[in-house]
Amino acid sequence: MVAVEPAATVTHAAGSYPVFVEPGIAGRLPALAAELLPGLRLAVITDRTVGRAVPHGIDAPTLVVAPGEASKTRARWSGLTDRLLDLGYGRDAGVVAVGGGVVGDLAGFVAATLLRGVPWLQVPTSLLAMVDASVGGKTGVNTGHGKNLVGAFHPPVAVLADPAVLRTLHPDHLGAGLVEALKHGLVADAGYFEWIGAHADALLALDSALLSELVARSVRIKAGVVSEDERERGRRAILNAGHTVGHAIERITDFTIPHGDAVAIGLVVEALLAHRLGLAERALAPTIRLALERLGRPTLLEPSWDDAALLDAMAHDKKVRGDTLRFALPIRIGAMAGADGQWTVPVSRDLMRIVLSTARTSATLF
């Protein structure tokens, strides 16, 4: 049995699922998988790096993919589903995803589509996956047009987050997760935003108690938002703060920029945009930038990134309506534009082009 109360419970149209945050919980994964997916024939999906660093111990076939966004494709999804069918899996299948955000999105999409849907269990092993990607039931893959454009909402039976495994993370991956956590503070909890800044050094030094608290607080924020708006028809859009620009950066750099770094830059650019639109004070973007720099993340667009290419990539964002770009924009730390029910703001390409041209120099931010 899971020995702790869940950090949060996420509700959805078909029921709910718990999110457990407990150091050491990954060591009990075989027993917990059997408990949470009872009577099912299990299959584990992981990546090569995680497979070496976090042994799952489940006596079941393990399907291994290469780490990174290059695996989050329809071709890889097809290969995994075909392999499960080759192995004779049927409606008694249960998928266990052990890995970061890519593995979770990919394995979840396999579970969502295999025989029109089988149960699955999320075991996030990166900080980004623990605080963000594993909560909310989104699954999917990337295409040549952009990120996460083919997928399904398919909630897991549970999420098991073990902050102890974060000791194996590369510093850049730790930083990526801290960016997403800071984003949660930006969009919904000013006190949490300040708490992360105050504890930045200790978090970067992998203080176990603080990391456990960080994961639990982020999970509670995200669970509250997605429980209210499962299918992203309203307030859930605020969780896309920084992501319209961030996903565009990832696309034009062929995913060589880590997701967290792309979102960090996106948060600053979009705060500049909010100021240009008269939604936020001028001080907002510098405040966000300084908080991100405490976490060791980049905050400015690279001079070599072409504005036209960035705008073209933004045109494929899932929030676009017709030919109009739409952004989830902060108005101050802890609050977002759109409380009247819209939650995203239309922006012309001409204005976005001006903002991009000013987001390459620190002088704009002070």
DSSP line for 163-192: GGGGGGS-HHHHHHHHHHHHHHHHHH-HHH
pLDDT(266) > 70: yes
Task: For the chain, give the percent of residues with pLDDT over 70.
Answer: 97
pLDDT greater than 90 at residue 320: no
Q: In angstroms, rounded to a whole number, what is the distance separating the alpha carbons of residues 98 and 79?
A: 18
Name the 3-class secondary structure at 347: strand
Instruction: Decide the pairing of beta strands 345-347 and 335-336.
Output: unpaired
Residue 204 burial (CB count, 10 A): 15
CA 137 vs. chain centroid, Å, equals: 11
In this predicted structure, what is the pLDDT of residue 11?
Answer: 95
Q: 338 φ, ψ to 5°? A: 105, 15
pLDDT at 364: 58
pLDDT on residue 363: 52
Residue 99 corresponds to which tokens in the numbers above? 């890995």
Q: How many other C-beta atoms are found inside a 10 Å radius of the C-beta of residue 133?
A: 24
Tens of pLDDT along 128-158? 999 999 999 999 999 988 889 999 999 999 9
- Each residue's pLDDT tens digit, 168-213: 898 988 999 999 999 999 999 999 999 999 999 999 999 999 999 9
| Band of pLDDT at residue 299, cut at 50, 70 and 90 | very high
* pLDDT at residue number 206: 95
Tell me how many degrees the CA angle 210-267-71 measures, rounded to the nearest 5: 80
Contact (CB, 8 A) for 148 and 138: yes
Instruction: Mean pLDDT check: name the lowest of 7-21, 41-55, 226-240, 314-328.
Output: 314-328
CATH for 8-168, among 3.40.50.300, 1.10.420.10, 3.40.50.1970, 3.60.15.10? Answer: 3.40.50.1970
User: What mean pLDDT is predicted for residues 281-293?
Assistant: 96
Q: What CA–CA distance (Å, rounded) separates 265 from 41?
A: 43
Mean pLDDT of 23-28: 96
Q: Residue range 33-49: average pLDDT?
A: 97
Q: Alpha-carbon distance 349 to 216, whole Å?
A: 38
Please give the pLDDT value at position 136: 93
* Side chain identity, residue 290: L
Residue 3 pLDDT class (50, 70, 90 cuts): low
Pairing of strands 120-124, 146-153: unpaired
Conformational region of residue 322, where left means phi above 0, alpha means psi within -120 to 50, and beta covers everything else: left
* Catalytic residue ranges: 116, 138, 180, 222, 232, 236, 240, 243, 247, 259
Nearest one of 153, 177, 330 to 244, comparing CA atoms: 330
Give the H/E segment covering residue 103: helix 101-113
Q: Residue 46: in which H helix or E strand, if any?
A: strand 41-47
Fill in the amino acid letter for 147. Answer: K
Report field, pTM of the whole predicted structure over 0.95: no
pLDDT grade, residue 362 (50/70/90)? Answer: low
Q: What is the pLDDT of residues 158-173, one digit of tens each?
A: 999 999 999 989 898 8
Provide the pLDDT confidence category of residue 341 given band limits of 50, 70 and 90. confident
Domain parsing of the chain, residue ranges = 8-168, 171-365
233, 343 contact by CB (below 8 A): no
Topology, domain 171-365: Dehydroquinate synthase-like, alpha domain (1.20.1090)
Cβ atoms 192, 221 nearer than 8 A: yes
Q: What is the mean pLDDT of the chain?
A: 94
